[in-house]
Amino acid sequence: MAATPAVRVLEQAEVAHALHPYDPEHPADQGHGEAAVAALGADPRQVFKTLVTRVDGALTIAVVPVSGTLDLKALAAAAGGRKAAMAEPADAERATGYVIGGISPLGQRKLLPTVVDSSALGFPTVLVSAGKRGLQLELPPAELVRLTRARTAPIGR
pLDDT, tens digit, for every residue of 98-147?
Answer: 998 899 999 999 899 999 999 999 999 999 999 998 899 999 999 999 99
Assign 27 a pLDDT band (cuts: 50, 70, 90). low
Residue 129: the pLDDT is: 93
Q: pLDDT at residue 1 above 60?
A: no
Residue 32: the pLDDT is: 74
Residue 28: the pLDDT is: 55
Name all domains of the chain by residue range, CATH numbers in brackets.
Answer: 5-153 (3.90.960.10)
Assign 26 a pLDDT band (cuts: 50, 70, 90). low
Averaged pLDDT for residues 35-52: 86
How far apart (Å, rounded) are the C-alpha atoms in residues 119 and 133? 24
Mean pLDDT in the chain?
91
Residue 126: the pLDDT is: 96
Residue 33: the pLDDT is: 78
Residue 30: the pLDDT is: 60
Tell me what percent of the residues of the chain surpass a pLDDT of 90.
Answer: 75
DSSP 9-46: HHHHTT---EEEE------TTS-HHHHHHHHHT--TTT
Residue 104: the pLDDT is: 96
Q: Which residue has the higher pLDDT, 36 or 140?
A: 140
Residue 16: the pLDDT is: 92
**Helical segments of the chain, H only:** 5-12, 32-40, 72-78, 89-96, 141-148
